[in-house]
Amino acid sequence: MGVGAENTLPTSIHNGGYKEEMEFVLKPSLGNDVVTPESGDHATLKRETWSRRLEFILASVGYAVGLGNVWRFPYLCYRSGGGAFLVPYLIMLLLCGIPLLFLEFSIGQYTRLGPVHALAKICPLLKGVGLATIVISFVLSTYYNILMTWALYYFFNTFGKSLPWQSCNNTWNVEANCSSGFPGNNTHLQSASQQFFERRLLEMTKGIEEVGGMRWELFGLLILAWAIVYVCIFKGVKSTGKVVYFTATFPYFILFALLVNNVQLPGAKDGIRYFLMPEWSKLRKVQVWVNAAAQIFNSIGISFGTMISMASYNKFNNNILRDTLIVSLANSATSIFAGIVIFSAIGYMAHVHNLPVDNIATDGPGLVFVVYPEVFSTMPVPQLWAAFFFLMLLCLGLDSQFAMVEVLVTFVMDGFGLKVLRVLKHKEVLVLVVCLVGFVLGIPHITQGGIYVFQLMDHYTAVVSLMFLAFFEVLAVCWLFGVRRISCMVERMMGKPPNIFFRLCWLVFAPLLVLCILISSIVQYTPARYGKTYRYPAWAEVLGWFISLVSVVWIPLGAAHELYRCKGSFMERLKASVTPTVDLDTFLHPPEKETSDTPEAMSLCTIPEKAPLSGQRNGI
């Protein structure tokens, strides 16, 4: 499908005794977002849109399908009951994943704004949730690109006569405890692949207390990784939409090729059987259900603000329900498919080294950068398979990285577009500044002690902060803004309201499940650690909580600011703060052609405005 027709949406923002209006002319442009000053206090912003619907779907699938599908899901599945884990996983997908993704797509597409400004319109009291999603996405992007740096390092090391992690005869190896095979649970020995990762790639120190020197090879590759990101997104969705045709589809060709190769190897069936064998007794453990929900949120990207941002570039009447089902189901199917590919290779590796499958598999980056490279060492033409695999990892990671950087650019353009373009002149310069800041913040991860910083940030950003943001986002949209208003928004875009299933999920199932996950995460909290033995010192734990608060703190700060802006008693301020910042009739009825003239549709969308509240906002 091509670009949609022009959409003009005047948005009236009420501030106390005066009304400040900015007209956003939402129509496709040939280049970037262009902000043109008009007479008086008006401004016209031509917001770019996806050139084709397929580009939005590929970008969304590319963001959702990332490195977590390759390592985290397979590990969680076989550690949490194998095939039995699919039961809570699919339940969480049905009750949380699909409804909340549909919700975020609806917010972004209807408001044509990024998460900060969209959530501020919907529920001013919790406007800090939108800013928190921007912060957590950008913090995540600063260390997520380190994975791309490692993938590039491995990729360039596949072009020699032999793979450098195949033997123990290299300068970085400690031959006394190096094994050319896989040592399993033998604590004395390390595989050649493990030593390559720790002693060659990372040159890691003994702990976060020892920062060590800079890894200059990684420094150069980090520059290259950010340069690739910049080149792919500096023209906005017009350039990103073209890149995702390759980055979102190429990994599937590689996964399929690996599967065809792996299933023919001896022992592959044992690995797949171990991956999918149900252990029904584990379903009685609360942690298994928490793991399933956490995987859905992390994998699909709910509460990171990215899906809202990408949907904001859609045309107004795009079928987001269809896109929601495509993205969420493609993500889950890819996770299962990748698990079969990974564990067929692990089964072969267990067969070669005569070890149990559970002695081979490991969690986190180790599965991708230690175990799987060791698998290639035993395959025919190992350099070819290794090069394809790490190129696949690069594509998987870049899709997610594009979206996390773009969400910050969208926020800046939505909120400060006029001012930014007056100073920087071009949006490309803004994207360059964002990439440079991300690069600088990523430098601590490429020191010799950088792996400990990486693990600390990942634990407190992707685990602790995310659950808080998810809960408050659901609270703001589903309960304070209200399911009836959401239904009306969907009807305005799609011509019919969401069915009873989605309304029940938004009103009951999703909020309660998210609340249970949050409580369980707090009750079962465990400090961050690296590997099985290293524990972080107390000051590092404090630093981790500070990293977590960097995003979460904006929620209470936003609420306090909103209450301060309002006049009247506390209850009047509170009531004013949970009311949308625009006139309800205007907000729910932009000047578009009515999608339906049926009495049912008219009655659903006609929500009478409440009487004016005595509590008014004091200034901006």
Q: Which residues are annotated as a binding site?
A: 62, 64-65, 69, 299, 331, 396, 399-400
Contact 119, 33 (CB under 8 A): no
Q: Report the amino acid identity of residue 327.
A: V
- Write out the DSSP string of 88-136: HHHHHIIIIIHHHHHHHHHHHHHHTS-HHHHHHHH-GGGTHHHHHHHHH
Task: Report yes or no: 56 and 313 within 8 Å, Cβ to Cβ.
Answer: yes
Nearest to 85, CA basis, from 350, 365, 336, 371: 336
CB 397 within 8 A of CB 403: no
Supply angle C-alpha 133, 151, 168, rounded to 5. Answer: 140
CA-based Rg of the chain, rounded to a whole angstrom?
25
Q: How far apart are CA 498 and CA 538, in angstroms?
A: 49
Counting every residue, how long is the chain? 620
d(CA 335, CA 343): 12
Distance from chain centroid for Cα 94:
19
CA 566 to chain centre: 34
- Rounded CA-CA distance 247/257 in Å is 16
How many helical (H) and strand (E) elements, i.e. helices and strands, does the chain have?
29, 8
* SS3 call for 164: coil
Q: Return d(Cα 560, Cα 4) in angstroms, integer.
A: 40
| Strands 178-179 and 190-191, bridge-based pairing | parallel
**Residue 374 near residue 182 (C-beta atoms within 8 A):** yes
- Binding-site members for Na(+) are 62, 64-65, 69, 299, 331, 396, 399-400
3-state secondary structure of 183: coil
End-to-end CA distance of the chain: 40
Query: Strand, coil or helix: what is 36?
Result: strand
- C-alpha dihedral over 401, 407, 408, 411, to 10 degrees? 170
Strand partners for 14 = 19
3-class SS of residue 10 = strand
* Residue tagged 């589809």 (tokens): 249
For residues 617 and 566, what is the distance between their CA atoms, to the nearest angstrom? 4
- Rounded Cα gap, residues 82 and 80, in angstroms: 6
Longest dimension (CA), the chain: 81
Distances (CA, A) of 162 to 62, 165, 191, 221: 32, 9, 16, 22
- Tokens 């339940």 correspond to 91
DSSP-based three-state secondary structure for 214 = strand
Q: Token match 């790490």: residue? A: 390
3-state secondary structure 397-427: HHHHHHHHHHHHHHHHHHHHHHHHHHHHCCH
